[in-house]
Amino acid sequence: MGILFPRWLVGSRAPPPRVSSYIVEYPHDYRFIVDEPGTCQRRKPFAVLIVPVHPRNRADRDVIRRTWGSETRGPVSGQTVSLLFLLGMPTGEEAERVQRDVLEESREHRDLLQADFVDAYRNLTVKTMVMMEWLDSRCPNASYAMKVDSDTFVNVSNLVDMLLKAPKVNYLTGLILDPRPVDRDPNSKFYLPVEVFPETLYPTYPQGLGYILSLDLPRKLVEASRHVKASFIEDVYVGSCMRHLGIPHTRPPHKSQFVFGVPYSRCAYSKLIVTLTDRDVVHRMNSISAFTHLEFTQHRKRGGKERNPPQTSMRNISVHPNRSNPQAPCEALQRRGAWP
């Protein structure tokens, strides 16, 4: 882990430069304050999952570590997957305390990346492009990366199974949205002034809840960013850079695996790759114990026959210890009350 301190955080009380409401400060020479340069060298991952999240949102990071993120601690379908969280710098009340907490969390988990831009909604494009820079410089030998929002559930096993059959060059997939009218409502969260984004339609772009790219693309996207004016809607900006490169998006084999909020059930979540979650889902995910695949397999070998299965990790939500019919469809098991 490498740690640097930005000049405006220590040794000076001057606040960081203000960021205009709609002008994005990218390209720019941002530096990493907290880094994990050895992650890809040490683990040699097949895929790297990066979750952009605010420094203050420790609870979000811990939920992911305890639930679907725990599956990255061991092989997934025979492949190594790494999980990292990407942060900007805290500002406002108690910013120095928050930063001290971030540094302590980094020492504890060794899974944080932090660069010296202000962490704010209008800087999501900066955060995404800093992620691309890190992937290009730190993980050139990985095959894939996934940008995933902190309020999502990822079925890592299904993700890896899809990627084992995917192209390794010029590949970007997820919930791909076709061109549609730009939001010109000044009261909207996604408002883009004509002066900032003069086009009438968004380009084709990957919805930001979670998209996957082959590891040749980060360098290409960073290069494209030098020719494409940045907008604060990060997924639209990725789409604009892909269009500049002349690289089409790839539709996923099963569009239904990339969806917005799905009512929670183990059956439904066993089929997904990524979906948004809500508080109820987070509560249920938290209640699932870290029951590893090895432990679960050993349980079945010992002849576990109880009607209600032991609580399993998210990686195994599609598996049920029913020795009489282990391949039973999850819908049938749910109808019988075997699954919540």
Mean pLDDT across 26-53: 96
Tens of pLDDT along 129-166? 999 999 999 999 999 999 999 999 999 999 999 999 99
227 and 134 within one domain: yes
Picking from 115, 119, 118, 156, the residue whose alpha carbon sits closest to that of residue 137 is 115
Domain boundary residue among 255, 278, 307? Answer: 255
313 and 218 within one domain: no
Tens of pLDDT along 328-339? 456 554 554 444
Q: Is the pLDDT of residue 317 over 60?
A: no
Q: Is the pLDDT of residue 215 over 90?
A: yes
pTM: 0.81
Which tokens hold the place of 100?
């001290």
How much of the chain exceeds pLDDT 90, in percent?
A: 71
Which residue type is seen at 98?
A: V
| Across 43-52, 199-208, 278-287, least confident range | 278-287
Which of 18-22, 67-71, 282-286 is predicted most confidently? Answer: 67-71
Q: Is the pLDDT of residue 289 over 50?
A: no
Could you tell me if 87 and 113 are in contact, meaning their C-beta atoms sit under 8 angstroms apart? yes
Q: Is the pLDDT of residue 299 over 60?
A: no
CATH of the domain at 174: 3.90.550
Torsion angle of the four alpha carbons 135, 138, 144, 145, in this order, in degrees rounded to the nearest 10: -40
Q: In this predicted structure, what is the pLDDT of residue 332?
A: 54
How far are the Cα atoms of 86, 319, 330 from residue 325, in angstroms, in the given order?
A: 43, 11, 11
| Across 18-22, 75-79, 196-200, 259-263, least confident range | 18-22
Return d(Cα 293, Cα 316) in angstroms, integer.
7
Q: In this predicted structure, what is the pLDDT of residue 264?
A: 85
Tens of pLDDT along 225-251? 999 999 999 999 999 999 999 999 999
13 and 35 within one domain: yes
151 and 37 within one domain: yes
294 and 209 within one domain: no
User: Structural domain tally of the chain?
Assistant: 2
Q: In this predicted structure, what is the pLDDT of residue 252?
A: 97
Domain boundary residue among 217, 240, 255? Answer: 255
321 and 229 within one domain: no
Q: In this predicted structure, what is the pLDDT of residue 260?
A: 87
Q: In this predicted structure, what is the pLDDT of residue 318?
A: 36
Q: In this predicted structure, what is the pLDDT of residue 327?
A: 41
111 and 247 within one domain: yes
Say if 48 falls within a structural domain: yes
Range of the domain at 298: 257-335
Structure-model confidence comparison of residues 157 and 22, the more confident one: 157
Say if 340 falls within a structural domain: no
Q: In this predicted structure, what is the pLDDT of residue 80?
A: 98
170 and 52 within one domain: yes
Return d(Cα 304, Cα 308) in angstroms, integer.
10
Return d(Cα 333, Cα 336) in angstroms, integer.
5
Domain boundary residue among 204, 239, 255? Answer: 255
Say if 166 falls within a structural domain: yes
Which tokens hold the place of 267?
């059956």
From first CA to last CA, the distance across the chain in angstroms is 41
pLDDT band at 263 (very low <50, low <70, confident <90, very high): confident
Return d(Cα 315, Cα 70) in angstroms, integer.
9
